[in-house]
Structure 1
Amino acid sequence: MATDYLYHQLESWLQEGIQKQRWRLGERLPSIRTLCQEHGLSRSTVQHALQRLEAQGLLEARPKAGYFVRFQPKALEIPQSRVQIDEPQLVTVSDLLLDIMGRSAAFDLLPDLNVGDLPPGVVALNRSIGRSLRRQRGDDYQYYDEPAGNLRLREQLALHNSRRGWIVSPDELCITSGCQHALFLALMATCEKGDVVAVESPGFYGALQLLEQLELKVVEVPTSVESGIDTDSLEEALKNWKIKACIVSPAFGTPSGVLMPDSSRKRILELAEQYDLAIIEDDIYGDTAFGAVPDPLKAIDTESRVILCSSFSKCMSRDLRLGWISGARWHSRIIRLKLVTQLASSRYLQQGVADYMEEGGFATHLRKLRKELRERRDCLIAHLHDWPCDLRVNLPQGGLSVWVELPESVDTLGAYTKALEHNVVITPGPLFSVSGQFQNYLRISFEHPWSPKRVNALNRLPEILLSDR
């Protein structure tokens, strides 16, 4: 039997297994050694068959891990975009969001399922923080942190961001109490009550909360899961209304998980200069990239118009409540506002995180986290493929969630209470819009491991969502 026929035979067998879901999306195939033994083939023949499937886009080779299924079901198409732009309006955030946050369920279908060990990276982080606390001497506990935050931590953040293509001085950074606090400072520094702010639609509901509290008006600008905020629509809005700031998430923002292309990034900065606009960049998901980590928009800001906001919440630990902001031309004002809204950050906490980063713990943790998140995303997509209805879903290359478009007759907001009866917490699409759009959309997170109980909760959702159509 000719060698070429042998690898074709193995290739066909593997391809059939993928199509029949013998191995689901994201699952690891048998090792090369196992395939050699089970099929009586040489190593080179097996490798050739696997490489051919990789070239077809059905498999992905991961160093020191093997070959994984990356087949994307054709039924899962990309969610559609919206093109309408409404008049500026004040924000009223749904009480439902408070209920979700009260259940600690923003990124978990089963928030009560508190199982599993701490990740090794978080264990190492806790050790660094503990050592920092034990090193306190004398009257350290009686002094406040400096307004901009711990210098060593700002130095480590500057070094970390330089690896992403953004050369920043520690003096251009200010430590905050998380990314939400950083966004709050950015809005306070650039806007006054009654001003208009442009936001992505769908966009981050936390930003909508801030706009409501600051009594700012909002213009929703449509986004695409392929290219992010629609810059033509943004320009149209800028022509029609005096907009003071625009909040964008160029790298994997929630809920769409889109990575904004370079052309859109450049166009936004051109519009900012043309219309005297402050750009507030929410970069909290940038470090979750499954592949090459993208540069922040701030990296190409030559006119000092981009205020970058980020934190460790999505890539390491929410419990830290440590974030940072680079305030561009508004930086001095932002530091003064920090003194008013927070006064100071914990000194020992900042020192512990700085040690952790300096010792390489953060970089090691990120490498492991990115791999795990990608595998969880693939597992989620595979399960969505089995849902008994037509749906569209994006395939983000970073972040923590997918954006699912269900049939138009589905009301995800109305299904929230019904899901609670099954002890499942969903995040309905209308929460990501001021005008209550996206009724038939759902954000589903892949941040947590897909344990049997979470998979069971996910598989119950179609019955819950489709029962009253």
Structure 2
Amino acid sequence: MDYRYQQLESWLLQGLREQRWRLGERLPSIRTLCQTQGVSKATVQHALQRLEAQGLVEARPKAGYFVTLQPKMIRAPRNRAQVEAPRPVTVNELFLDVMRRSAAFDLLPDLHAGEVPPGIVALNRALGRALRRQKGDDHQYYDAPAGDPALREQLSLHAARRGWTVLPEQLCITSGCQHALFLALMACCRRGDIVAVESPGFYGVLQLLEQLELQVVEVPSSSEQGMDIGALEAALGRWDIKACVVSPAFATPGGALMPEGARKRLLALADQHDLAIIEDDIYADIAFGQVPDPLKALDRSDRVILCSSFSKSLSRDLRLGWIAGARWHQKILHLKLVTQLASSRYQQQGIAEFMQDGSYAAHLRRQRNALRTQRDRLVASLHAWPGEIRVSTPQGGLAVWLELPESVDSLAAYPAALQQGVVITPGPLFSVSGQFRNCLRISYAHPWDDRRITALGQLPGLLLGH
């Protein structure tokens, strides 16, 4: 659950977005906020200090807190995607260059500095213990198709704490979330079928659609509430869509959190149109406040396939994920044998121990605080850029979505940024329609040390000519 200061901060931030208080205006006094919001003075001061750290307000001696940013500077990016006819997918070749540089979540992928986080130290110890416990000729045998029972048991308990009841036998361990999404699409689609996705959306899904020779319908998605369910409903009325891939919790690139009403409407549409829902739940564990229930928790028709992994919450190098295959579970088990055969036993056993002794929960608490601080510093830096910009302010996940003036071409800026040692992630990578050329995804997955701050400071000159 959110701390009271976080709840107050979110309320104040929403008021700034809605221009309840305009540039130069004074916010309600600390005493007034205490009385109207039912919180302590310390809680109010903490929330206001966090807004001040983001550059949204400033404290004036004996006067109070005042709004310091133009309203345009805190508006979310616009929802501009148009629903177009289904089309085959061709992923921009630039995606391969970004991945080759290991730069999906870092402006400076060659910068490997800083101490190893305590959670990763504990993880390595757990993995080491699991490896040492291997006996005799254990290494000569394959893991069961569904994966290690102890890990599935821990994942079941972890899901229960989020309001979702799932039995261990309803889960299958995969080689990461991308593999889980691949299995889900193979299980419920055939070549040539139409799949609905968020736009802008996850380029990894677009890559899978291309490889499976599936067609795509891009559904507009906002950085605040996610997929436009009304637009999806209209698309379902026009085309025979077989599946919908959606990230209800902190979807990349904008970090949206889908409201409960939209979730229920999505499931109703799935029942009405016999639609398979593939839920990418990979970012939920790094919510800054209360971890949201998965969409799967509302599923009463067994048509939501949930996919997730530890790669965003724990380690990219740990290629372990899971899938709850719903009515397609048995087919997915077979497809796992075909595509992966088996998962590493010792890795699964080590992760199970890491979760069982509370180390994973402790790691998540530290990780959420660190990511929130890193997001705040990034957002404050972006607000200081010249010109008209729009920035998402996600309450979880790893990245913000930045919308720049229409004249900006982020694709054209990519080579120039490389010459200065900076790798950007241009907006068109998150669509197949050529939209979002004036947009950029920027991650706060890493600490904003001096070198990354310097790299970020180079971008206005490259993108805006300032």
TM-score (structure 1 length as normaliser)? 0.86
Q: Partner letter of residue 226 of structure 1?
A: E
Matches for 1:349-360 after TM superposition, within 5 Å = 349-360=347-358
> For 1:227, which of 211, 225, 228 is the aligned residue?
225
Q: Deviations for 1:19-48, whole angstroms, at most 9, x for unmatched residues?
A: xxxxxxxxxxxxxxxxxxxxxxxxxxxx97
| Correspondence 1:361 to 2:351 | no
Distance 1:417 1:278 in 2: 40
Distance 1:246 1:225 in 2: 18
The CA deviation at 1:76 is 2.4
Q: Partner letter of residue 59 of structure 1?
A: Q
> For 1:397, which of 388, 395, 398 is the aligned residue?
395
Q: Partner letter of residue 117 of structure 1?
A: E
Distance 1:241 1:69 in 2: 44
Q: Deviations for 1:68-121, whole angstroms, at most 9, x for unmatched residues?
A: 768474322111012521000000001100000000000000000011121110
| Correspondence 1:59 to 2:57 | no
In structure 1, the partner of 2:283 is 285
In structure 1, the partner of 2:112 is 114
Q: Deviations for 1:363-405, whole angstroms, at most 9, x for unmatched residues?
A: 0000000000000000001111111121001110000000000
Matches for 1:50-449 after TM superposition, within 5 Å = 53=45, 58-59=48-49, 71=56, 73=69, 74=71, 75-82=73-80, 84-449=82-447
Equivalent pairs: percent with the same residue? Answer: 64
Distance 2:370 2:44 in 1: 26
The CA deviation at 1:225 is 1.6
Distance 1:280 1:70 in 2: 38
> Is contact 2:76-2:391 (8 Å) kept?
yes
In structure 2, the partner of 1:461 is 459
Structure 2 stretches lacking a partner, 5+ long: 1-38, 58-68
Name the SS for the 1:310 alignment partner. strand
> Is contact 1:121-1:364 (8 Å) kept?
yes
The CA deviation at 1:226 is 2.0
Q: How many residues align?
A: 415
> Is contact 2:428-2:434 (8 Å) kept?
yes
In structure 1, the partner of 2:66 is none
> Is contact 1:251-1:294 (8 Å) kept?
yes
In structure 2, the partner of 1:12 is none
Q: Partner letter of residue 165 of structure 1?
A: G
In structure 1, the partner of 2:3 is none
Q: Deviations for 1:248-285, whole angstroms, at most 9, x for unmatched residues?
A: 00000100100000000000000000000000000000
Distance 2:88 2:450 in 1: 43
Name the SS for the 1:221 alignment partner. strand
Distance 1:449 1:324 in 2: 28
Q: Which has the larger radius of gyration?
A: 1
Structure 1 stretches lacking a partner, 5+ long: 1-46, 62-66
Q: Deviations for 1:116-159, whole angstroms, at most 9, x for unmatched residues?
A: 12111011001000011011111100000000000000000000
* Change beyond 3 A, Cα 1:142–1:233: same
* Change beyond 3 A, Cα 1:215–1:272: same
The CA deviation at 1:318 is 1.1
